Amino acid sequence: MARRVAEFDWSATALGPIETWPATLKTAVALVMDSGFAKCLCWGEEHITIYNDAFEPILGNKGDCLGLPFSVIWQEAWPSIGPIAAKALAGKGTFIKDYALTVRRSDEGLEDAFFTFAYSPIKDETGKVCGFVDTVMETTERVRFERRAAVSNRELVHRLKNSYALVSAVVRQTARRATSVQELSDKLVDRLIDMGQAQDILSLRNAGKASIAEIVDRLRTRLVDKSHQFTASGPEVSLSDEQTFALTLSLFELATNAVKYGALSCDEGHITITWELRDANGGAILTLHWSESGGPPVSPPRHRGFGSFLIRQLLAAEFGGQVELEYLPSGVVCELTAPV
């Protein structure tokens, strides 16, 4: 960049031929060229720019900006940085950390970016301010990472609180119905494993929200030796964290019971899981259907335990809908209907 500055036709700018430059300008240019930090010298009332190699990445694809007014180079952001530049030319330096600017540095248009920078006035031997130096570091990636991390941390805290509350409910409800310590231990372990499956779905997803299909796939993976006894189909439906927990626990509860007493307790049994969306009053209604067939005859349980609470109450509450659970002789049928 120093060579380009030396060969540039400065006579076409307000700075004039390089040999006529005052000593203050020449010294400032030398300091900018020798610096390892991204620096841009803005000289005179027109803010004619002279920058070093380290400053070029800040410009992106703006092209060759040497000798252009700073206000022209950053015209899209000038309403924000113009007053700061004016302050520097008035002799008052500025340091700003992670300053948000909307800039245009590529053919893709405007982008939001963040910069930490200092505008330092340059004075001549008489004390007159002749320009300022912009020393800058782009912090866009770090700021975005920290913001994503902050959101993730808030989500994690919220999720942990919900998990603690749910674990407490699981322990209380399971303990009420357990007839022995061993039964309590076995049921708690099974249900905590189910909760772990729900947590995995939430934690390991690539982006966005979990979906019904992910939950069903996880269910089939857990029951891999019986996965051929499942049929599942439905459109892409995204769920909140709370809905993901409730649906995961409910489907795993249904599957556990099917293994013990229902369609999955024999090789001839089959489970069909379908879900669909339909328009209703300007919104969408989700209907999810679980149906068992081919298993031994089913009869209603003698009492309602925690599994019934999960399916009938928690699932309905988290989706803001209704759940119908029937123990037909031909097999268990469960249907969730809820707005989305």
- Does 104 have pLDDT greater than 60? yes
Contact partners, residue 130, CB within 8 Å, separation at least 6? 22, 24, 25, 43, 44, 122, 123, 124
pTM: 0.54
Q: How does pLDDT run across 64-88, given as a tens digit for each residue? A: 999 999 999 999 999 999 999 999 9
Q: Comparing 175 with 140, which gets the higher pLDDT? A: 140
Q: How far is CA 194 from CA 116, 229, 256, in A?
A: 47, 20, 10
Query: Is residue 297 helix, strand or coil?
Result: coil
- Does 286 have pLDDT greater than 70? yes
Q: Do domains 2-138 and 143-339 have the same CATH topology?
A: no
Q: How does pLDDT run across 152-166, given as a tens digit for each residue? A: 677 666 666 766 666
205 confidence band (pLDDT: 50, 70, 90): low
CATH class, range 2-138:
alpha beta
Query: Is residue 214 helix, strand or coil?
Result: helix
Q: How far is CA 235 from CA 6, 212, 238, 274, 287, in A?
A: 64, 9, 10, 9, 11
- Does 134 have pLDDT greater than 70? yes
Mean pLDDT, the chain, whole residue set: 89
Domain ranges of the chain: 2-138, 143-339
Give the pLDDT confidence score for residue 163 in this predicted structure. 65
- The answer to whether 246 touches 310, Cβ cutoff 8 Å, is yes
Give the pLDDT confidence score for residue 159 in this predicted structure. 61
Which of the 8 DSSP states describes residue 314?
Answer: I
Whole-angstrom Cα distance, residue 77 to residue 100?
Answer: 10
Give the pLDDT confidence score for residue 118 in this predicted structure. 97
Using a pLDDT cut of 70, give the percent of the chain over it.
90
Nearest Cα residue to 215 out of 178, 191, 241, 190:
241
Over residues 9-34, the mean pLDDT reads 94
Nearest Cα residue to 198 out of 143, 257, 250, 267:
250
Over residues 41-61, the mean pLDDT reads 95
Tokens 């805290």 label which residue? Answer: 157
Burial of 1 (0-12, 13-18, 19+ CB in 10 A): middle
- The answer to whether 193 touches 234, Cβ cutoff 8 Å, is no
- Does 8 have pLDDT greater than 90? yes
Radius of gyration of the chain measured on its C-alpha atoms: 33
- Does 240 have pLDDT greater than 90? no
**Strand pairing category for 210-211 and 230-233:** unpaired
Give the pLDDT confidence score for residue 40 in this predicted structure. 97
Over residues 30-49, the mean pLDDT reads 95
How many CB atoms are closer than 10 A to CB 52?
21
Give the lowest-confidence range in 34-38, 112-116, 132-136, 306-310: 306-310
Which of the 8 DSSP states describes residue 311?
Answer: I
- Does 42 have pLDDT greater than 60? yes
224 confidence band (pLDDT: 50, 70, 90): confident
Give the pLDDT confidence score for residue 307 in this predicted structure. 76
Give the lowest-confidence range in 45-54, 127-136, 138-147, 302-311: 302-311
- Does 206 have pLDDT greater than 80? no
Give the pLDDT confidence score for residue 202 in this predicted structure. 67
Give the pLDDT confidence score for residue 266 in this predicted structure. 94
Q: How does pLDDT run across 289-299, given as a tens digit for each residue? A: 999 999 999 98
As a 3-state breakdown, the chain gives helix, strand, coil percent values, each rounded to 5, of 50, 25, 25
CATH class, range 143-339:
alpha beta
Q: What does the angle CA 68 – CA 72 – CA 74 come to, to the nearest 5 degrees?
A: 115
Q: How does pLDDT run across 248-267, given as a tens digit for each residue? A: 889 988 998 999 899 999 99
Over residues 188-193, the mean pLDDT reads 74
